[in-house]
Every structure is written in C-alpha cells, then in structure tokens.
Amino acid sequence: MTAREAVAVAHPNIALIKYWGKRDEHLVLPFNDSLSLTLDVFPTTTKVRLEPDADADRVVMDGAIARGEVLRRTTAFLELVRELAGRRERAVVETRNTVPVGAGLASSASGFAALALAAAHAYGLSLGAAQLSRLARRGSGSAARSVFGGFVVWHAGDPDAPDPDHTSYAEPVTDARLDASLVAVVLDAGPKAVSSREAMRRTVATSPLYRGWVTDSHADLARMRTALRDGDMACVGEIAERNALGMHATMETARPAVRYLTSASTTVLDEVRRLRREGVGAWATMDAGPNVKVLCASADAEQVAARMREVTGVLVVVARSGPGARHETVT
C-alpha cells in the first residue's frame, strides 16, 4: 500500500477573552467561551506521512527527534485520528515552528491546528470546519481557534448535552469590523516553569477568584462581540486587558500560586498605560508566560512597536490578522 502524506500550515492566535480551566480534561472542554485573533506571524508547518510498516509513531520537531511529553501528546492525538478513520498505520510527523516553543506565544495552538489538518488528510478523513476544530481542540484547547483566521470565537459547549464533545468548537466572527493588530513584546522565549495545563488545573481547584472570573468572561464575551461589530477599538481593548488581568489574578491566588508575569512584564504594562494617557489607543494582554501583547488599531501598530522597542530593547513583532489553517502542496 502506498503511504499517504499531507502538509498543513497554521498560525498562532492570541485570546482577547481567555480560555483558562477545563471542565473535562479528557475531552478538553473549557468552562467558558473564548475569543481570539489569529495572527499572520509565527506559522507552524507540519507534514504527516503514514508508515504502514512502522510499529510506532515518530515525531521530529524543528529537526530533533521528539521524546517525552511532545511525543506522548502527539501519539495520543494520532490515536484519536486513527480511531476516527478506522485505520492502524503509524505515522511520521515532521513539524517546524517559527514561534519560540513554550513561551506563551501559542505554539501549541498553531501546532495542533496544523497537525489536525495534516493528519486528517493523511488518514483520509474528510472533516467539515467545525469537526476539524473539535479535533484540534482535543490536542490543545486553543488549537480549536487556530483552525480559522481573523477573529474567532470558541464555544465552550453544553455540558448537559448528550454528547458535549459535539457542542464545543470554534468558528469565525463574521461580523467584526475592526482592523486590529497585536504588538508582541518578546521578553522571554524560554520554556515556562509551570505548564498552562497544570496551572489551569491548580487555578480551577484552589483559586477563590476563579468562579467570578468565569462569570465575568461570559459578560465580557457578549460585550466584546458587540464592540467588534461596532468597530469600537477602545471598548474591545478595555475588555481584553481587564479579562487578561483577571485571569492572571486567578492564578496568583491559586495554591501554590502561579506567576507568569515578571518585573519586565510590569514595565511594559506601565508603558501601555502611559501610551493611553498620551492619547494612543493601546491595551495589554498576557498569556501563560511573561510576554506582553499590545492590542491596538493597525494604524497605530508601528508607533506602538517603536515605543516598545525603545523602552524594552527586546524583540518586538507586529502581528496583524492572519489566515486559518490550510493545506500546503507536498514537495
């Protein structure tokens, strides 16, 4: 039998309403809806090739043979795809990231979105967009959103439905009228000390602020969708910054506390506030790492980036709205 292979490319996304905490660890079902912008930078390219004679999957990430957690998660994901496809062949997965892995810049989002598309194709599955998003979600929650470009909403789904898995998928926000950019201030590209998976678990189990943040996130999402429709940059920015700070407050009040933000992050947050006082519309959002992403109108992005470079002296990347996951021709 001829081996099948497929290549896919996906981009990271940054959440403006965050996903933080799972109600179901196995199915990766979140407690709250989230909303993100897919970026046009740092793509991941993944090739999946079936190996009918192999007795184990092989994963090569950025030129190095993967072991440990990366291999375990990739193999578990391929098992899911094989189950769906009713096939047994093992595969070789070759993946190239252009985003620093594990630095809170969403490499698992682009990684599992690209893997979902390439693996589905290689194993002969024909999936609709929502099905592909559900599949990517099983690899990493945020990957459900990177299946689509632009602004994307991920529905937490209905936990009381007969099959909750079917109700939790992402889809594009088609009525957004906002040309926004995210200016990524890369303070640290190293891997994080506590994985977001473990940090979420700890937060849900021990933070007294967690339930309140989930309730606020529901209201934040409704207001943000209206603001996106109205093209109201200030409203979107204010909601995003508050939602991110709220998420970090939940982890800081977990036991033991999780702190991703550093003094360098705080310096950037102060500068974002200073920009606002000077009349420039800029708002901060931070994920599971010290890096700060500054949300602003695309027309202001270069000005914001120049200020961030001046103040921090670190790598600053302007990201605009990017495309969803797509196939690439096998070469």
Contacting residues toward ligand 2P0, per CB under 6 A: 15, 18-20, 28, 34, 108, 140-142, 196-197, 287-288
Task: For the CB of residue 110, give the shortest distance to ligand 2P0 in the complex, in Å.
Answer: 11
251: nearest Cα among 209, 291, 203, 288: 203
Task: For the CB of residue 227, give the shortest distance to ligand 2P0 in the complex, in Å.
Answer: 18
Nearer to ligand 2P0, 141 or 281 (CB): 141
Tokens of 14: 């940054």
CB contact at 8 A, 32 and 22: no
Helix axis angle for 263-277 and 301-312, nearest 10°, is 140
Task: For the CB of residue 260, give the shortest distance to ligand 2P0 in the complex, in Å.
Answer: 9
Q: Which residue is nearest to ligand 2P0 (CB)?
A: 141
Tokens of 102: 């594990």
Let me know the angle formed at the C-alpha of 103 by 97 and 106, rounded to the nearest 5 degrees. 60
Nearer to ligand 2P0, 20 or 169 (CB): 20
Task: For the CB of residue 258, give the shortest distance to ligand 2P0 in the complex, in Å.
Answer: 11
| Residues written for the chain | 331
109: nearest Cα among 65, 145, 80, 77: 145
Chain centre distance of CA 44:
12
> Judging by DSSP bridges, how do beta strands 170-172 and 151-154 pair with one another?
antiparallel
Task: For the CB of residue 106, give the shortest distance to ligand 2P0 in the complex, in Å.
Answer: 6
Q: What is the DSSP letter of 317?
A: E
Nearer to ligand 2P0, 47 or 145 (CB): 145
Nearer to ligand 2P0, 20 or 210 (CB): 20
Task: For the CB of residue 83, give the shortest distance to ligand 2P0 in the complex, in Å.
Answer: 19
Nearer to ligand 2P0, 194 or 317 (CB): 194
Nearer to ligand 2P0, 224 or 275 (CB): 224
